[in-house]
Chain A
Amino acid sequence: MINKNPYIPVPVEITKIIDEVDTRDIKTFRLVFLNKDDEANFKYLPGQFAELSIYGKGESPIGIASSPTEQGYVEFTVMRMGAVVPGTVTSALHDLDEGAKIGIRGPLGNSWPIEFLEKKNIVVVGGGFAFTTLRSLINYMLHKDNRKRFGDITVIYGARNPGLLLYKDELADWEKRDDIKSIITVDKGDEAWQGREGFVPAVCKEVAPSPKNSVALICGPPVMIKFTLPVFFELGFSKENILTSLEMRMKCGIGKCGRCNVGYKYVCSDGPVFSLGELDELPRDF
Chain B
Amino acid sequence: MLKKISISKISELAAALMDKGLLLAPVKEISGHNFVEIKDPKQVDLDFHNTIASPKAAFFPHKEDFIKYETGKPIDTASVVALNLPPTFLFGARPCDVKSFGIMDIHFIASGIVDPFWKQRREAAVIFGYAFDLEKPAQPEEFYQTLGIGAADPEGSDIFMVKKGGDLLLNSVTPKGEKILTELKILNEGKAADKKYYDEYIKKGKEYKTRSMCLEPGAITKKLEDLFQNTDFWNRVSSACISCGVCTFVCPTCYCFDICDDTLFGHGTRRRVWDACMFTDFTLEASGHNPRTHVYQRLRQKINHKYSYHVRKYGVISCVGCGRCTKYCPVNIDIYSIIEDAMKA
A residues engaging B (CB < 8 A)? 1, 4-8, 11, 34, 55-60, 81-85, 87, 90, 101-103, 247-249, 251-252, 254-259, 261, 263-265, 269, 283-286
A221 to chain B, nearest CB (A): 9
B residues engaging A (CB < 8 A)? 66-67, 69, 71, 74-76, 78, 80, 107-108, 111-113, 115-116, 225, 228-229, 255-261, 263, 268, 270, 272, 275, 277, 282-288, 291-292, 297, 301, 304-305, 308-310, 312-313
CB-CB under 8 A from A248, the residues of chain B are: 283, 285, 291
B314 to chain A, nearest CB (A): 9
A222 to chain B: closest residue by CB: B289
CB-CB under 8 A from B257, the residues of chain A are: 251-252, 256-258
From A247, A258, A285, contact of B292 by CB (8 A): A285
Name the residue in B272, B285, B292 with the highest tally of chain A Cβ atoms < 10 Å from its Cβ: B285
CB-CB under 8 A from A83, the residues of chain B are: 288
A263 to chain B, nearest CB (A): 6
Beyond contacts A55-B71, A258-B256, A285-B228: 11 other A-B pairs, Cβ-Cβ < 8 A, are A7-B116, A7-B259, A55-B261, A56-B263, A90-B286, A252-B257, A258-B257, A259-B277, A259-B282, A261-B301, A283-B229
CB-CB under 8 A from B75, the residues of chain A are: 11, 55, 101-103
CB-CB under 8 A from B310, the residues of chain A are: 264
Question: In the complex, are the beta carbons of A264 and B113 less than 8 A apart?
Answer: no
A44 to chain B, nearest CB (A): 16
B107 to chain A: closest residue by CB: A256
Tell whether A256 pairs with B312 under 8 Å between CB atoms, given A55-B67, A247-B285: no
A101 to chain B: closest residue by CB: B75
Question: In the complex, are the beta carbons of B275 and A81 less than 8 A apart?
Answer: no
Question: In the complex, are the beta carbons of B78 and A58 less than 8 A apart?
Answer: no
Question: In the complex, are the beta carbons of A6 and B259 less than 8 A apart?
Answer: no
B250 to chain A, nearest CB (A): 16
B116 to chain A: closest residue by CB: A5
A57 to chain B: closest residue by CB: B261
Tell whether A6 pairs with B116 under 8 Å between CB atoms, given A248-B283, A251-B259, A285-B297: yes
Question: In the complex, are the beta carbons of B80 and A8 less than 8 A apart?
Answer: yes
A81 to chain B: closest residue by CB: B286
Tell whether A257 pairs with B291 under 8 Å between CB atoms, given A85-B284, A247-B285: no
Tell whether A11 pairs with B115 under 8 Å between CB atoms, given A56-B263, A85-B284: no
CB-CB under 8 A from A269, the residues of chain B are: 112-113
A–B complex contacts, Cβ < 8 Å, 23 sampled: A5-B66, A55-B69, A55-B71, A55-B268, A56-B268, A58-B261, A101-B74, A101-B75, A101-B76, A249-B283, A249-B285, A251-B257, A255-B111, A255-B112, A256-B108, A256-B255, A258-B256, A259-B256, A259-B282, A259-B283, A263-B309, A263-B312, A264-B309
CB-CB under 8 A from B277, the residues of chain A are: 258-259
Majority SS at the chain A contact face? loop
Question: In the complex, are the beta carbons of B312 and A264 less than 8 A apart?
Answer: yes
Q: CA–CA, A146 to B259, complex, Å?
A: 38
CB-CB under 8 A from B260, the residues of chain A are: 58
Question: In the complex, are the beta carbons of B308 and A285 less than 8 A apart?
Answer: no
Question: In the complex, are the beta carbons of A8 and B67 less than 8 A apart?
Answer: yes
B298 to chain A, nearest CB (A): 11
CB-CB under 8 A from B259, the residues of chain A are: 7, 58-59, 251-252, 257
CB-CB under 8 A from B292, the residues of chain A are: 285
Tell whether A84 pairs with B287 under 8 Å between CB atoms, given A7-B66, A56-B263, A251-B259: yes
Q: CA–CA, A85 to B310, complex, Å?
A: 30
Tell whether A85 pairs with B309 under 8 Å between CB atoms, given A55-B270, A59-B259, A258-B257: no
Tell whether A258 pairs with B284 under 8 Å between CB atoms, given A7-B272, A251-B258: no
From B115, B229, B285, B309, contact of A261 by CB (8 A): B309
Name the residue in B74, B108, B115 with the highest tally of chain A Cβ atoms < 10 Å from its Cβ: B115
Tell whether A264 pairs with B313 under 8 Å between CB atoms, given A34-B76, A256-B115, A286-B291: yes
Q: CA–CA, A57 to B69, complex, Å?
A: 12
Question: In the complex, are the beta carbons of B255 and A258 less than 8 A apart?
Answer: yes
A265 to chain B, nearest CB (A): 8
B219 to chain A, nearest CB (A): 16
Name the residue in A101, A247, A249, A256 with the highest tally of chain B Cβ atoms < 10 Å from its Cβ: A256
A137 to chain B, nearest CB (A): 23
Question: In the complex, are the beta carbons of A85 and B113 less than 8 A apart?
Answer: no
Question: In the complex, are the beta carbons of A249 and B284 less than 8 A apart?
Answer: yes
Q: CA–CA, A4 to B66, complex, Å?
A: 13
Q: CA–CA, A59 to B261, complex, Å?
A: 9
From B261, B282, B285, contact of A56 by CB (8 A): B261
Q: CA–CA, A96 to B263, complex, Å?
A: 19
B171 to chain A, nearest CB (A): 34
Q: CA–CA, A257 to B255, complex, Å?
A: 7
CB-CB under 8 A from B284, the residues of chain A are: 85, 249
Question: In the complex, are the beta carbons of B113 and A255 less than 8 A apart?
Answer: yes
B77 to chain A, nearest CB (A): 10
Question: In the complex, are the beta carbons of B263 and A256 less than 8 A apart?
Answer: no
CB-CB under 8 A from B261, the residues of chain A are: 55-58
